[in-house]
Amino acid sequence: MKTMHALATHSSRITILGAGLMGRLLAVALAQQGCHVDIHDAGGSDAELSAARVAAAMLAPLAESAVSEPGIVRMGQYAMRRWPELLAALAQPVFFQQNGTLIVWHRQDATDAARLYDKLKHTHALLPDLPAAQALDETLLAQREPMLAGRFHEGLYLPGEGQLDNRQLLAALHEHMQTLGVAMHWHSRQALGDFSPGAPDEPDLILDCRGLGARGDWPELRGVRGEVTRVHAPEVTLQRPTRLVHPRCPAYIVPKEDHVFVVGATAIESDDLSPASVRSTLELCSAPPTPCIRVLPRPASWRSPRNAAPLCRTTARASARRASASCRSTACTGTAS
Q: How many CB atoms lie under 10 A from the CB of residue 71? A: 10
- Contact call for residues 170 and 164 (beta carbons, < 8 A): no
- DSSP annotation of 293 reads G
pLDDT category of residue 141 using cuts at 50, 70 and 90: very high
Per-residue pLDDT at 41 exceeds 60: yes
What would the pLDDT profile of 274-308 be if each residue is shown by its tens digit? 777 777 777 777 766 555 444 333 345 555 556 55
Q: How many CB atoms lie under 10 A from the CB of residue 290? A: 18
What structural domains and CATH numbers belong to the chain? 2-64+166-218+315-333 (3.40.50.720), 101-159+222-308 (3.30.9.10)
What would the pLDDT profile of 61-96 be if each residue is shown by its tens digit? 999 999 889 999 999 999 999 999 999 999 999 999
- Contact call for residues 232 and 260 (beta carbons, < 8 A): yes
What would the pLDDT profile of 169-198 be if each residue is shown by its tens digit? 999 999 999 999 999 999 999 999 999 998
User: Rounded to an integer, what is the distance from CA 106 to the centroid of its chain?
Assistant: 27
Q: What is residue 17's predicted lDDT score, i.e. its pLDDT?
A: 97
SS3 156: strand
- Contact call for residues 33 and 7 (beta carbons, < 8 A): no
Q: What is residue 83's predicted lDDT score, i.e. its pLDDT?
A: 96
Q: What is residue 282's predicted lDDT score, i.e. its pLDDT?
A: 75
